[in-house]
Structure 1
Amino acid sequence: MTEPTAPDKKPFLYVVVCASGVAGGVGKLITAAQEANWDVGVVATPQGLGFIDARAVEAQTGYPIRSAWRSPGDPRPLPPADAIAVAPATFNTINKWAAGISDTLALGILCEAYGMGIPTVALPYLNSAQAAHPAYRQSLDRLRGMGVLIGSGEPHRPKAGGAAERFRWEEALELLGPLVGRGR
């Protein structure tokens, strides 16, 4: 578990955003988290950056979006995470994360979160053809075994528009609430 947050300081939520058609809606999760008294910083996969309005996200959070490792000696642009929400979590990120692959900043943070005891939730967003691959179910099982809570969203039909309207951003906070003593 992370260190207790000072009474006058809000807990800090990292939102890891992956390259997905619904990623542009991340402001919904940021707003919900801020309304629930979280400070929020966004970490995007390198490809995920192209799916969000970076200026709008940075204005909303007050923090720069992280996507690449910082150089030695550079200041840390985000406070340490008290919790992490991976939303949307793609097929690629889920499988790499479960395999311990740390080839991006986002994956490095996720791989370290387990060893640091940071409460983490993932909201998968992928199509049913990807979800049918045996590696995906194995990866979800491994992540669950690591204590990661997985959202309830169902994979959408391939090439059918993605069912973005059914993606429940707020589920990340619902799942994290009991883990960090912030149930609604």
Structure 2
Amino acid sequence: MTRTLYLFGSAAPPLFDIAWVAEAAQARGWDVCLGLTPAAAEWVAGSVDGLSALTGHPVRSRYRRPGEADVWPAPDAILFAPATFNTVNALALGLTDRFVVGVAAEAIGKGVPMAVMPCVNTALARHPQFDQSLATLHNAGVRTLFGEHGFAPNAPGEDVVEGFPWETALAAADALVATPQA
């Protein structure tokens, strides 16, 4: 039985690993649908056709227009990684002007299992809204992968392409839909 994973990403340096992440998720048995914030879509604009071919689904970064068919199957789980400071706060506050944030916000209400791995620096992590947003998401049933159980923030100005805990994120996605053993 194929499981469908919505793999969502924001414009943060680990996004450049997204093809590898999609392949790794497929190797774990996921049918991957890739959604990006508009800035993230701009960052990988030259790779969108290849990413669509890799996943077998169009890469989406905008809402569909009225009357357009929904081209993705329903998700079994959502993995939102990397999730920027702006994305984490928008999701927690229900600000759905961006497609992936809107889908994720609605998924919370539908009970779709979700994990979010922020990618922020230490200065942003100290902003009081960030902790509140993580708590809001956690209380809504979203698995937040931050700190010792996920992404550890870096100093401002440091890139995090290498060392982003993608394996932890993928394992969390698997765990979201794991069948309990009797």
TM-score (norm 2): 0.91
1:19 is matched with 11
CA separation of 1:65 and 1:182: change in aligned 2, threshold 3 A: farther
The alignment's C-alpha RMSD in Å is 1.4
Report the Cα distance in structure 2 between the residues aligned to 1:35 and 1:49, rounded to whole angstroms. 24
SS at match of 2:18: helix
2:168 to 161, 167, 171: 171
When residues 166 and 182 of structure 1 are mapped into structure 2, their CA distance, relative to the original with a 3 A threshold, is: farther
Instruction: Specify the alignment match of 1:157 in structure 2.
Output: 155
User: Quick one: distance in 2 between partners of 1:179 and 1:14?
Assistant: 12
One-letter identity of the residue aligned with 2:8: V
In 2, are the aligned partners of 1:26 and 1:169 still within 8 Å (CA)?
Answer: no
Question: TM-score with structure 1 length normalisation?
Answer: 0.90
Give the corresponding residue for 2:79: 85
Gaps of 5+ in 1: 1-6
Q: Deviations over 1:59-109 (max 9, x none)?
A: 210111111111122111111111000010100000010011111111110
- Distance in 2, Cα, partners of 1:27 & 1:154: 22
Question: Secondary structure of 2:95's partner?
Answer: coil
1:70 aligned residue (40, 64, 75): 64
Pick one of 99, 103, 113 that aligns with 1:109: 103
Structure (1 or 2) with the greater helix fraction: 2
Q: Which runs of 4+ in 1 moved over 3 A?
A: none
State the aligned residue count. 174
Q: Give secondary structure in 2 for the equivalent of 1:164.
A: coil
| 8 Å Cα contact 1:176/1:182 also seen in 2 | no
1:29 shift after superposition: 1.6
Q: Percent same amino acid at aligned positions?
A: 36
Distance (whole Å) between structure 2 residues aligned to residue 143 and residue 19 of structure 1: 20
* Gapped regions of structure 2 (runs ≥ 5): none
**Separation in 1 of the partners of 2:30 and 2:125?**
32
Report if the CA contact (8 A) 2:34-2:60 is conserved: yes
